[in-house]
Structure 1
Amino acid sequence: MNKEIIQLYKNFDNNKLPLFFEKLILFINNHDKIFRKYILEDSLNSIEQFKESEFYLGTTDDNLEGLALGYSETLIGADEKEICGNVIHMIWDIATFMTDELCPSCQDANLKIASSTDRNNIYKTCDNCLITMENGQFIERPKEMIPATKEQINS
């Protein structure tokens, strides 16, 4: 598992982001039993069904190439829990749509659009200060959130 994810990260190419995203989803599916130990069930069930065409990939201001390179080095010797958490975070970084709207709380980052795992609720959230809003109101951050799809963002 360890060597496999490190190699996947080392082969990251920003110009082939959809392919990389699909390979991350395949990695999760191939190691489903291990991911089930550490990732919340509803989130994992949703993520395992993700298709790259459903998302606006790479809209954040994150340096995805730098993240992948850094992760390829920091995951050497990592345990299963660290790998699972890391891969889920990478999926989040790639698939979550970043708005042009500055966080009203910290004024330090733009808001991202997330969804409940059942796709019924849309949230705006800040990765920096972790505030979460639904319908313009601040709410307690849900235990499980996934990136919103293109369809959800466009509605």
Structure 2
Amino acid sequence: MNQEIVQIYKEFDKNSLTSFFENLLNFIKKYDETFKLYVFKDSLEAIEKFQKHEFYLGTTDDNLEGLALFYSKEMFKATEKEICGNVVHMIWDVATFMTDELCPSCQDSNLKIASSTDQNNIYKTCDNCLITIEKGQFIERPEEMIPATRKQVDYFLEN
């Protein structure tokens, strides 16, 4: 498991985010039984259904190349739990759409558009201070959120 995720990170190419994203999804599916031990059930089930064309990949200001390089070194000695958490977070970083709207709370990061795992609710959220906004109101951050799909992002931006 360790060597396989390291290899995926080593092969990261910012010009081929769709391949990288697919490799992460395939890794999750391959090690499904292990991920079930460490990832919320609804989140994992939703992530395992992701398709690369459903998301605006790489819209964040996160240094994905730097993260992949860092993780390609760190994952050699990681535990299964650390690998599972790391891969889910990398999926989040690659697939979550970042808006041009500065966080009203911390003023340090732009808001991202996320979804409930059942895809019935759309949120604006800050990865830095963790505030979450639904329908213009600050709410308690849901325990489980996934990246919003293209369809959800388009709908959200139109309204």
CA distance in 1, matches of 2:70, 2:136: 35
CA distance in 1, matches of 2:29, 2:100: 33
For 2:120, the aligned partner's letter is N
Normalised TM-score (structure 1): 0.99
Q: Does the alignment pair 1:140 with 2:149?
A: no
CA distance in 1, matches of 2:30, 2:75: 18
Task: Provide the residue aligned with 1:93 in structure 2.
Answer: 93
CA distance in 1, matches of 2:126, 2:77: 31
For 1:44, the aligned partner's letter is L
- The structural deviation recorded for 1:46 is 0.3
Task: Provide the residue aligned with 1:75 in structure 2.
Answer: 75
CA distance in 1, matches of 2:108, 2:78: 31
For 2:11, the aligned partner's letter is N
CA distance in 2, matches of 1:104, 1:2: 39
SS in 2 for 1:75: helix
- The structural deviation recorded for 1:76 is 1.6
Q: Does the alignment pair 1:104 with 2:104?
A: yes
In the TM superposition, what whole-angstrom CA distance separates every residue of 1:71-122 from its partner, at most 9, and x where no partner exists? 0111121110000000000000000000000000000000000000000000
For 1:73, the aligned partner's letter is K
Task: Provide the residue aligned with 1:41 in structure 2.
Answer: 41
For 2:40, the aligned partner's letter is L
CA distance in 2, matches of 1:7, 1:42: 28
For 1:133, the aligned partner's letter is I
Q: Does the alignment pair 1:9 with 2:31?
A: no
- The structural deviation recorded for 1:64 is 0.6
How is 1:49-68 mapped onto 2 (pairs within 5 angstroms)?
A: 49-68=49-68
Q: Which runs of 5+ in 1 are unaligned?
A: none
Identity %: 70
RMSD: 0.4
SS in 1 for 2:25: helix
Q: Does the alignment pair 1:118 with 2:118?
A: yes
For 1:96, the aligned partner's letter is T
CA distance in 2, matches of 1:74, 1:64: 15
SS in 1 for 2:90: helix
